[in-house]
């Protein structure tokens, strides 16, 4: 396994549409393993293959107790609404308010090609939507309602410190 370089928003690769995965081989498994390691190292919630320069429909999401691998994912249902803070490993230092569905169900393939469904609420639902948008060349900054100011970010950081 190896850490991959995370592209930032000025890289045009992030604005391209990813192609479906058709080969479920060692190369894909290496990409998935590297993405999981990169995600953990960056302390993120999700990572899409375009963020590491690979235009394939591959996403990893940290669902708490494990890293969920989604290959060729698609949203099959969504409900409710949540508005909250969102950031992106490809847009370091910027955070904004984004409205997303509160519950999202996806259909995807695992690393061996078997289809499965996964459902997430709140943060996981947000991560599913955010990461799948990367596969179509979109960034959260395209739909942000407003960015947080430096003062607001400092206030959130202070509140987080107070909680520990």
DSSP class per residue in 2-19: -PPPPP-TTSGGGGSPPB
Assess contact for 44 and 18: CB atoms under 8 A. no
Catalytic-role residue among 131, 145, 155, 161:
131
């409710």: which residue's tokens?
80
Main-chain phi, psi angles of 70, to 5 degrees: -125, 115
DSSP 8-state class, residue 56: B
Q: Which residues lie closer than 8 Å to 144 by C-beta, 6 or more apart?
A: 86, 96, 97, 98
Distance of CA 10 to the CA centre of its chain: 18
The question of whether 131 is a catalytic residue gets the answer: yes
User: Is the dihedral angle over the CA atoms 89, 92, 97, 98 positive or is it negative?
Assistant: negative
Q: Are 25 and 31 in contact (CB under 8 A)?
A: no
In the chain, count of helices (H) and strands (E)?
3, 8
Active site residues: 131
């Amino acid at each position: 396994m190896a850490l991959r370089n995370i592209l930032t928003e000025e890289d045009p690769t992030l604005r391209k549409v990813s192609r479906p995965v058709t080969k479920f081989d060692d190369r894909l498994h290496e990409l998935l393993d590297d993405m999981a390691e990169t995600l953990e190292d960056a302390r993120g919630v999700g990572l899409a293959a375009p963020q590491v320069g690979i235009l394939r429909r591959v996403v990893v999401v940290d669902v708490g107790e494990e890293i969920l691998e989604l290959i060729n994912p698609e949203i099959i249902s969504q409900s409710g609404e949540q508005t909250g803070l969102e950031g992106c490993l490809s847009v370091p230092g910027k955070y904004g308010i984004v409205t997303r569905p509160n519950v999202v169900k996806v259909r995807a393939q695992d690393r061996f090609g078997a289809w499965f469904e996964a459902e997430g609420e709140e943060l996981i639902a947000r991560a599913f939507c955010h990461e799948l948008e990367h596969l179509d060349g979109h960034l959260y900054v395209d739909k942000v309602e407003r960015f947080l100011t430096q003062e607001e970010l400092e206030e959130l950081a202070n509140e987080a410190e107070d909680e520990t």
